[in-house]
Each structure stands twice: as C-alpha cells, then as structure tokens.
Amino acid sequence: MLILLILVVTLAVVFGVADIRRNLITKPVFTVFKKILPPLSDTEREAMEAGDVWWDGELFKGKPDWQQLHSFPKPELSADEQAFMDNQVETLLGMLDDYKIVQEQRDLPVAVWDYLKREGFFAMIIPKAYGGREFSAIANSTIVSRIATRSLTAAVTVMVPNSLGPGELLMHYGTQQQKDFWLPSLANGTDVPCFALTGPEAGSDAGGIPDTGVVCKGEFDGKEVTGIRLNWDKRYITLAPVATVLGLAFKLYDPEKLLGDKEELGITCALIPTSHKGVQIGDRHFPMNMAFMNGTTYGKDVFIPLDWIIGGPDYAGRGWRMLVECLSAGRGISLPALATATGHLAARMTGAYGYVRQQFGMSIGKFEGVQESLARIGGLTYSLEAMRVMTAGAIDMKLSPSVVTAIAKYHMTEMSRTLMNDAFDIHAGRAIQVGPKNYLAHGYMGIPISITVEGANILTRNLMIFGQGATRCHPYVLAELEAAANPDAEQGLKQFDSLLLKHIGFAIGNTFGALWQGLTAAAFNSAPVSGETARYYKQLSRMSRALALSADFSMLILGGELKRREMLSARLGDVLSQLYIASAVLKFYEDNGRQQCDLPFVHYSVQRALFEIGRAFAGFFANFPNRVVARVLKTLVFPFGIGYKMPDDATAIQICEALSKPGVVRDRLTHLCYIGADENDATGLMENAFVTMYEAQPLMKKIYQAQREGKVARKQPLDKTIAQALEVGVLSEAEAQQLNRMNTLRFSAISVDSFKPGALEAQTPNADAA
C-alpha cells in the first residue's frame, strides 16, 4: 500500500506540475514526435486543412454520438426539384436511345444537347440570381442517378458542368465581375464549360502538373498589360471537344517578381474562352467506347490577362486549395450517383431476369447459386442508396467532408463493379451480346471510368482515406503536428503539452475501453434505438474504439513510416470506411420509418460491413511489423477472436424473394431505375415480361395440375402446352390468350440482338458528331 501510495503521488506530481511535466515528459516526447512525424509539406497541409470533418470525426473518437447521426436532417427534394424530376428529366429520358448514341451516333443528338441547355440541366448548381436552377446536392445526385439508368453518356454530360469546373469554382472564388460575366451564359447553355487538370505527366499526382504560366508583360486588346504566358498539354478532359470556356490549372511563376517577392507562386486556376488565340481543343478520346465528349487541350505561349485568374490576381497560387475543397462535388455527388444508378438498374433488371429466365423447368432465380449473387446485388444496392443520400445530405448541410467523400468515391464505385459482375454472371449470354435489348453492357463498360477518375481508386484507398483521415479526423494529431511546426519553439511546446495530456487520456481510455468491450462483446454499450438494429450500434461503437486504439499505436510505433506502409494503413482506412457505410445504412433505415420489409437489406448491409471490418483488422494484425504490439492489440480488441460473419443464407433468400416479385419493396429499392413505356424498350420489355409472368402464375398452376393428372402432356414447348390445355378445357380462350402473350414477351425478353450481314457496317457514326 505504501509503495502504491508513493507511485500515485509521484505520478500526480509529474503530470500535475506543469514545469516538471514539461521537462520530464513533454520535451522528450516532443523531440521524438518531431522526428517520427515530420511536419506536413505545404501541399499536404492544404489538403489536410481543406474541407470539413463531419461524421468521420465521430467514428474516429471511439465513442460515436449516435443521436447526432439521427439528428442530421433527412435529405429530400423540394417541390421545384421534384417537379423537374417529373417533367424535364422524364422528357429527357424519352428522348434518349442509348444504343444509337453509343454505337451509331457517338454523341448525343442535337435535339438533346439543345434541350439540356434550354432546360437548365447544366445550371443545377448555379444560383437563380444568375439564371440557374440552384438545386440541392441531393437533387443533383438524384437527377444524375435517374439519367444514368437510361444513358451513361447523357448522365456524364449533365454531371460534369455541375461538378468540379468553372461554375463551381466561380461561385466559391470568382470575383463579382467574373460571376456577372460567366454565370448567366453558363446557366443558359450559351457557354459549355470544361476543366483541364490532368495531363500526360500528372494523373493522380495532380500537384505535380508540369503545365506552366509565367507572369510577364504582353499585349491584350491592343494594350500592353501584365499577364501570364501559358504552356499546357492536358488529356482526359470531359466536354473539352465541345467546350466554349476552359478552366485551366497550371503552376504559376513570377521570375521578374511583378506580383511580389515570390518567384514560385504555386498552382493557379484561370478561365479562358476556347476561342482565345492559341487555345487548342477538339481532339477526342473515347473512354471505354462511351460517347460522352472527352478529349485533349493544349496551348503554347498563350498570353492571358491577370484578371482571368479565377478570383483575380489575389488568388494567384491558391489553386490547389481551391481544387481540393471543390473535389467534394465529384467525389460526393457525381460518382456516387453513377454507382447507385448501376445498383438500381442491376437490382431491378436482374431480379426480373431471374424470374423470367427458366432452366430445368424452373426460374433460375430459384437456384441458390443465383440467389447468392442476386442477394449481393440487392444488399449492395441498399448500401449504395443509403451512402448516396447521406453523403449528398452532408454537402447540403454546407459541409465539404473530404474524407467522407473519398470513402464514398472509392467504396461506391467498387460496390458497383461487384454487383455489375454479379448481374453479368446471372444474365450470362443475355448480358454479353451488345444491342438495343442490352441494358447492362454500357453500364459495365463505364464502370472502369468511375474507378479511374477523380483520383484513381488505388490512390484513394491507399493514401487518402486513412492517410488524410487519421490526421484530419483524429481529435489531437493534426493540432499536435501544427504545434510541432510552430516556428516559436517555446509556444509550440506549450501547445503540445496541453494536447499531450488529453491524447494520453484518450489513448488510455481507448485501451481499457477496447478490452472491456471485447470481453463483454459490447453487451453494455448503449444504443439509440431498440429492436433488431440495436446490436449493430453497439458493435459499431466497439469497432470505433478499436480503430482509435489501433490508429494511435500505429502512429506511435511507425510514425512517418506509416504513410509509406500503404497496405497496412489502407486496412485501417477500410475499417473507417465500413463504419461509415454501416452508419449510412442505419441512418437510412431510421429516416425511412424503420420499414419492417427493409430489415433483410439492413441486416445484409451491416453484417457485411462488420465482416469487412473484421477482415481488415485480421490483415492489419497479421502484417503489423512489431509482432508484440500486434499480439497485444489483437488481444485487446478481439480477446476471443474475430466473430463477425457474412449474412446467412436465410437473409439472402429474403432479399431474393423481394427482388423476384412486383411490390413496394422492389419499387422503393430501385425507384430511380428507368423503365421504358414502350414494350420494345430494353428495360420496358424485361419489366413487362416479368410482371406478365408473375400475374400468369395462377394459370400456369392450372396447367401444372393438368399435367399431373395426365390431361396435358409434359416436356413440350409452352405454346403447344397452352394449345392443348385450351383444347381439353383446362383454359378458357381468354386465359390461353393471356398465356400466349406472356410466352411471347418471355421469349422476346430472354432473346438477344442479332444483326444481318452488312447491318453493322451501315451504322457509320455521324461525321460531324465524331
């Protein structure tokens, strides 16, 4: 007892007396900290400081406030936005023939271009004061998703002007004169924008662009002015071949110091009319053979005035910060919208096809091998819709959650890749034959584009989600880095001293908390709800604590090396991501009134997320270089082993049953999927065949009964079976007609396109469009 008392008093003195603590604890730790976690570079600092910490910060705390999650407003369309969906969007969908657009015309028809411009599809983010629609992020997302289920080319064409580009940059950073000049013409479609960032030498490393601008004197409008002489070579620029105004990112230099004392000013963004002398556009790419406009732009010794810099001369060198802050639209709205559209289309059509297509005398959707893939499609689609809504909702809260949008971009595009592969497996030959009846092929071709753009998925997962998230979302690390970088060493030490005590308390709390929750399987954690989903909140809180603990140990042991151990850090990023996915699913379930029929999808989504968390932690512990620390961490977090499992077969079967019959559940899950009114439309044909077959089941049961009784022969074509059933009085004339129509639709729906000799050669692309 005496020894224990002395120890307690000693610790109290060491940690409680500021001067003693700073000399014995803080200074040595501060010195080590500066070595293992070197100060951020200017580029890294700008990336870290850009945007907002949102729900991701709660997940990193180790004790998420679930009431806060539930308090976030439910994203909903306004009356004007819903009217636009019901009228302009539906009119547009009726104008689109995606097969002709991609395979024959290689461009949107002129009438579609005119309609998009006239009806403000390119002006969804522009304020009404400038003639725009001023729609919310959730409306932007919903509109793009709906269009994408009909035509990826049209969706990308609409999406780009409302994403990272001149319009968004002008609204955030443009001078009043720039806004007044450009925004009205962008809103009414007189001007078509593109934004050029990527080049041959700079893809994911956007900060390494070689394109340059040099501040100098030159002639503009017959006068000598101070301006910029530009040289650039860009590629992969969407809408470039048809753009009238070019947003350009380049590195700006001022060797004559005409703007100040610095020679290297940094990345800068300017707005340039494509008609300006020296600007070259027009060469075209064909990403995965899709027909949306994408191409190159370059210029040599192009002189522009300084006031063409977005934001004016005061924003020279501030382009990187502008770009990082505005990337949230592309990562948080556009690409998640495309991924979700893939889910809506694949879930609805694959459920229908699984019912319509028969083998061995029964619908293929009854085979458990097919059901395993179909359940994955349904479960991932529910997760995608939940993430789409929650992420767009954050942007509508006037936030720019950079880590969350990176999570959405990576995981949603990967989910769409997974479920589209499943859809192809189930459709088999029906999916691989390209033609007017094929509703999957173009979406399948377009998935690698989403995987690649706005930061390649490998980069996003391995560097951004945890690399940025660990520093940005951690309660103390970013502030500690700032203290370490303080040029006033004494002031930095004081800041660090205050943070260190809190960080130590945070780490100790997470250590004992993780062990307690592991030993009790989180049974004593609180949940904001009762019922079947309560256990999920408890487990997610437990895994949040485990993430905070593992992140602290990783940064302590590996320091700056953690940044280079990408496979290791990416696994912690996966934990953070799956926590976000599960949170979005639970929030979505609550916002939609806790529908009982949604529970199979909720169970599947959250259980899958927990399984992925367990798998990520298993890989992290197995590969952590300090084996002693790895064993300690694994024991603390999972003292009895990792017990998370994938959803069981019963849950999968429930999802399949919901997707394999007409009803409210199927309609709500796939509400954005376009269904053509014409029976000859690809989706309309499959949907009509599916509904007709489902409605005809009572009549088919009469035939099956007659076959068992020997009145009607077995193992003959269905049309002959129907005729015989009519002849022997099993069916009435009207019933036989109904079944014959069903059989005609069924056969047409499972058939694939074929082309007569010479037919494809006649489909020469429009020369002007190409």
Cα(583)–Cα(492) distance, integer angstroms: 37
Six token digits for residue 343: 């889910």
Cα(622)–Cα(577) distance, integer angstroms: 20
Six token digits for residue 534: 């309560």
Residue (of 193, 64, 73, 61) closest to 123 by Cα position: 193
Decide: 192 and 167 in contact? Cβ < 8 Å.
no
Decide: 115 and 156 in contact? Cβ < 8 Å.
no
Phi, psi dihedrals of residue 37, rounded to the nearest 5°:
-120, 85
Q: Which helix (H) or strand (E) holds 689?
A: helix 682-695
Cα(158)–Cα(521) distance, integer angstroms: 48
With vertex at residue 271, the alpha carbon angle to CA 265 and CA 274, rounded to the nearest 5 degrees, is: 130
Beta-bridge mates of residue 267? 251
Cα(596)–Cα(253) distance, integer angstroms: 62
Phi, psi dihedrals of residue 693, rounded to the nearest 5°:
-65, -40
Six token digits for residue 579: 């926590």
Cα 164 to chain centroid distance, Å, stands at: 15
Residue (of 92, 112, 91) closest to 292 by Cα position: 112
Phi, psi dihedrals of residue 231, rounded to the nearest 5°:
-140, 125
Whether 695 is catalytic: no
Contacts with 624 (C-beta within 8 Å, 6 or more apart), sequence order? 554, 557, 568, 630, 633
Residue (of 406, 418, 391) closest to 458 by Cα position: 406
Decide: 191 and 272 in contact? Cβ < 8 Å.
no
The residue whose two tokens read 């994203």 is 75
What is the dihedral sign for C-alpha 655, 659, 661, 664? positive
Residue (of 557, 646, 541) closest to 603 by Cα position: 646
Cα 644 to chain centroid distance, Å, stands at: 25
Decide: 278 and 260 in contact? Cβ < 8 Å.
no
Cα(770)–Cα(766) distance, integer angstroms: 6
Q: State the SS3 of 40-64.
A: CCHHHHHHHHCCCCCHHHHHHCCCC
Task: Write down the catalytic residue from 454, 480, 482, 687.
Answer: 454
Decide: 274 and 195 in contact? Cβ < 8 Å.
no
Distances (CA, A) of 199 to 195, 282, 335: 12, 15, 21
Beta-bridge mates of residue 572? none
DSSP type of residue 299: E
Cα(353)–Cα(359) distance, integer angstroms: 12
Contacts with 259 (C-beta within 8 Å, 6 or more apart), sequence order? 215, 265, 313, 316
Rounding to the nearest 10 degrees, give the CA dihedral for residues 488, 493, 499, 503: 130
With vertex at residue 758, the alpha carbon angle to CA 752 and CA 760, rounded to the nearest 5 degrees, is: 55
Contacts with 612 (C-beta within 8 Å, 6 or more apart), sequence order? 574, 578
Beta-bridge mates of residue 65? none
Contacts with 418 (C-beta within 8 Å, 6 or more apart), sequence order? 376, 380
Q: Is 404 helix (H, G, I), strand (E, B) or coil?
A: helix
Q: Would you please indicate which residues are annotated as catalytic (active-site) residues?
A: 454
